[in-house]
Each structure stands twice: as C-alpha cells, then as structure tokens.
Amino acid sequence: MSKSASVGDKLPDIALTAPDGSVVKPSDFAGRKLVLFFYPKDDTPGCTTENLDFSALADDFAAAGTALLGISKDSPARHQKFAAKHGLKAPLATDAQEGGLSDALGIWTEKQNYGRTYMGMVRTTLLVGPDGTIARVWDKVKVKGHAAEVLEAAKAL
C-alpha cells in the first residue's frame, strides 16, 4: 500500500489517458493551479452529481486560473459517453494502469461494503499549486457543496 497524498508533497507526474486516447500528465498543467477530483465510477448518482457540480463551476475555476481534471478507472470510451450524456465541461481522464496516479497517491485502495472487500477509488480531491505541490487534500469527499468549497480554496491559493 502506498502512502496517501499529503499537503506539501510534489504531485507524481504519472500519465493518464484522455477520453480521445491522448496522454495527459499533471506536468501539462505546470504554472497553473490544478484540481484533480478522483471519483469511483462514471454514471453513478454521486459521481454524476460531483461531475455536474464541477462542470457548472468550470468557468469560475478557469477565471481563478485553475484547471480541472476528473479521474476514475473507467475506460476512455466510457468517459466519452458519460461526458456527452451529461454535457460535462470538466475534462476527464482514465487512470487504469496498475501503479497509476491513484495508486501512487493511496486513493485506489481496499474498501469494504456489506462485508465484501474489494479495491476501489476513494472519492478524493487534490488542489495542486502552480509549482506542482499539493496545497490541499479532501478525502472521503461528501459531494454536496464540495465543488464550491474547492473553488473557494482555489481562489485563495
């Protein structure tokens, strides 16, 4: 088990896959603030709400000089369908590889539900400064009001 993401850590520059199949890396956002929101699964109620909330505030994040990137283990094709179905404005990326970014940050971890143990994504948001250092970590996120709280923190950074 890798350690969890902590304030002051450098964000690992591990490649992700964009819905169009291209590669996206945290270093692509160097010099800008970046919000990475990790969520369990496309098109589930909480994840849809979270993506819609970040999308609704996408212009405000841009005005605050902050890029957005939603990340799950879903395939690029599934991300494309999800984004199209809900008109999402926040870009998405796939972190499917073993030892990927969510593994390195301790966000892909063992979970339990109804007595069953399985590997899953813990809903986590990171606010990364322009220098690539993690400025704030929200773990085990509750969706309601979360995107607005992250926006306020991004404006203050």
Please list the active-site residues.
Answer: 47
Closest to 50 (Cα-Cα) out of 62, 59, 39: 39
Helices 76-86 and 45-56: crossing angle in degrees, nearest 10, is 70
CA–CA distance, 150 with 97 (Å, rounded to integer) = 27
Burial of 156 (C-beta count, 10 Å sphere; 0-12/13-18/19+): exposed
CA–CA distance, 116 with 125 (Å, rounded to integer) = 25
CA–CA distance, 120 with 108 (Å, rounded to integer) = 5
